[in-house]
Amino acid sequence: MELPKFLLADNTDYPDAIFIVHTEYPRFIINLENDEVEWMEEFSKEDEQELASEAEILIEAANAFYDREVSRYDG
């Protein structure tokens, strides 16, 4: 099965949270309520340096995905 790059998620245990799941490497979940990011990968020290610069781009892309999805609902 091929997954989309981003998925929109929610959970009734967290009624104010909206989650974006990034399904490609490096996989992560961002909670748009508080911008908390949970990485689903283990990183070496070398990877962490590269990830720092890439993380900002990925998080901006996740927010753009959310904005696009919401605009489609508001249609």
Does residue 8 surpass a pLDDT of 80?
Answer: yes
What's the Rg (C-alpha) of the chain?
13
Averaged pLDDT, 12-41: 95
Nearest CA to 24 out of 69, 66, 54, 67 is that of 54
Q: How many domains does the chain have?
A: 1
Q: Is 73 exposed, middle or buried (0-12, 13-18, 19+ CB in 10 A)?
A: exposed
Please check whether residue 1 lies inside any domain of the structure.
no
Supply the range of the domain harboring residue 52: 6-74
> What's this model's pTM, rounded to 2 decimal places?
0.87
Please check whether residue 59 lies inside any domain of the structure.
yes
Q: What is the pLDDT confidence band of residue 43, given thresholds at 50, 70 and 90?
A: confident
Please check whether residue 52 lies inside any domain of the structure.
yes
